[in-house]
Amino acid sequence: LSSNQGNMGRLELLQTLSGHQGRVWNVAWNPRGDILASCGEDKTIRLWTTEGTSGQGDSIVGNWVCRSTLVDAHQRTIRAVAWSPCGNRLASASFDATTAVWERRIQQSGGLIRGKEFECVATLEGHESEVKSVSWARSGRLLATCSRDRSVWIWEVENGEDEELEGEFECAAVLNSHSQDVKRVAWHPERDLLASASYDDTVRLYMEDQAHGEWSEIAVLSSHTSTVWGLSWEVQRGEKTEVGCRLATCGGDGSVKIWQEFGPNNTEGVAPGPNGYPTWKCICTLSGHHGGRPVYDVSWCPCTGYIATACGDDAIRIFGEAVGGDSIDFGTPSVELLATQRSAHLQDVNSVTWNPTVPGLKGALCSARMSSG
Amino acid sequence: MAKLEKLENLNPKLFRRCDDRVISSEEQDENVCDEFDNREIFDLIRSINDPEHPLTLEELNVLEINNIHILKTFLKHVVFHVDNQNNEINVRFTPTIPHCSMATLIGLSIQVQLLRALPTRFKVSVQVTPGSHASESAVNKQLADKERVAAALENTYLLEVINQCLTLKQGA
């Protein structure tokens, strides 16, 4: 992505990866940004790396190839994949009502180390129907899943990040606040604060009450007029904002919204929420950009602060915050469209994600392209 | 047919089937580029069976040819756009009764038929005719949710029912 040359930036296609059979639903970068995981209708997860490199940074520009295919853990579509913060674990959410956890383990044969491969080490069961999304908390000790059954589950990972898992997952909470199908869960980049997005048009936030050790809903974000499909926290620290005090959401109403947290003693004079919890307000709505089509995913770049969207009109769009915009009303940001890649794919774009280490490199974008992915 | 305890609509009003389409010599010519028209889309779905009655959707007037639109919106002033078509197909159907619990299933059958028969570039949108169903917005929202549609089509029982609706009967 070359940005801000003139007014409009330009998106450049670096590579097209094919291999999946049928629709590709989701893509995710590992924390180092040198492995891309993809999943879809064909019940497989594919891991992609650049050919012959294991380094960081410059490896992005190489030729991406499928390094391994993870199979046999799910009976139905794999809807989403998520990396643990250490990058050694991967979780996959499936329409078969389970979530699988994969771990990178040293493969030995005849006393020789053959390499590190991912093995399925746990299957989390409990949801009554399709699992739609999965997310790891920053600490790596909590995992969240959500489902068509309207619930959000929080799982505790029993042992530490560096030890091997032996199926050590315990359900810490079942949250039933949504009235419909829950589409997405995403943990805050630093805190144990969870956001969920639903077919009931709302986003909900959850925290653990330290005194009682119980998880509960602390805020309802209502403003979208249709299904909320995507959620992305702001990871970069802004001039006036803390890490993760803003959240971008997108949905079936074709809009993207930016929400901001207002703590108990905020200078803007926003009244605090119940029990002294922060209040979340929609401070910006980007509408009219997506041709009335659903926006299926949104990704807020941790390096550049750009916001990318995946849309049902086959396009990818990039938005950026105008620098030096006046921030009088609650720090209302002035966000503008920087680039549009029409026909980025031949069908709906389902997922968009920024590479976490290389500024401006657009992570993988995946489409619903049949048979070639 | 799906086995049902009792019929919801005991006495449906029947409509006469329209005449078969006349296929022109131009349409049979492989060298002539020929776009999808209303009548072709109509033919793809007219013979879908009602889940409850041994009748087609056309005979029950669930579909009317005038409600089927293939939008051909040409973009103006966009010189670099190679494909001028929007690749959109919007179908509106009218359930036989306003409380028809089969509305979602009928809509799904139409959607599946079109997804199977048409090139993948088309965006197929299936909705109930405004004002024709008590849960209009709920039915429309569900049919527009491609994730739920995809999950429904992985349900073996549901897929069997849909396939039965889509199977052409003798003489139909």
Q: On the CB side of A60, how many CA atoms lie within 13 Å of its CA?
A: 19
Q: What is the mean pLDDT of residues B161-170?
A: 73
Single out the residue of A102, A98, A108, A114 nearest to residue A147, CA to CA: A98
Give A175's strand partners: A152
- Between CA A167 and CA A173, with CA A171 as vertex, the angle to 5 degrees is 160
What is residue A27's predicted lDDT score, i.e. its pLDDT? 94
Q: What residue of A is the nearest CA neighbor of B83?
A: A343
Q: Report pLDDT digits (tens) over A152-186.
A: 999 999 865 556 666 589 999 999 999 999 999 99
Single out the residue of A289, A195, A271 nearest to residue A234, CA to CA: A195
Residue B129 has pLDDT above 50, yes or no: yes
Q: Which residue in A74, A76, A146, A224 has the most chain B C-beta atoms within 10 A of its own C-beta, making it the best mutation to test that interface?
A: A76
How many A-B residue pairs are in contact by the CB < 8 A criterion?
39
Residue A297 has pLDDT above 90, yes or no: yes
| Yes or no, beta carbons of B121 and A346 under 8 Å apart | yes
Percent of chain A with pLDDT over 90: 61
| Yes or no, beta carbons of A346 and B120 under 8 Å apart | yes
The overall pTM is greater than 0.90: no
Residues in chain B: 172
| Yes or no, beta carbons of A181 and B148 under 8 Å apart | yes
Residue B91 has pLDDT above 50, yes or no: yes
What is residue A362's predicted lDDT score, i.e. its pLDDT? 53
Single out the residue of A46, A101, A42 nearest to residue A77, CA to CA: A42
Percent of chain A with pLDDT over 70: 84
End-to-end CA distance of chain A: 22
| Yes or no, beta carbons of A79 and B147 under 8 Å apart | yes
Top-confidence residue, A26 or A368: A26
Interface check for B72 against chain A (CB to CB < 8 A): the answer is: no
| Yes or no, beta carbons of A95 and B120 under 8 Å apart | no
Q: Report pLDDT digits (tens) over A110-160.
A: 666 666 789 999 999 999 999 999 999 998 899 999 999 999 999 999 865
Query: pLDDT confidence of B107, banded at 50, 70, 90?
Result: confident
Q: Output b/e per residue, A242-278; b: 16+ Cβ within 10 A.
A: ebbbbbbbbbbbbbbbbbbbbeeeeeeebeebeeebb
Residues of A in contact with B147 (CB under 8 A): 79, 132, 183
Q: Report pLDDT digits (tens) over A94-110.
A: 999 999 999 988 766 66
Q: What is the ipTM of this complex?
A: 0.89
Q: Report pLDDT digits (tens) over A67-80.
A: 999 999 999 999 99
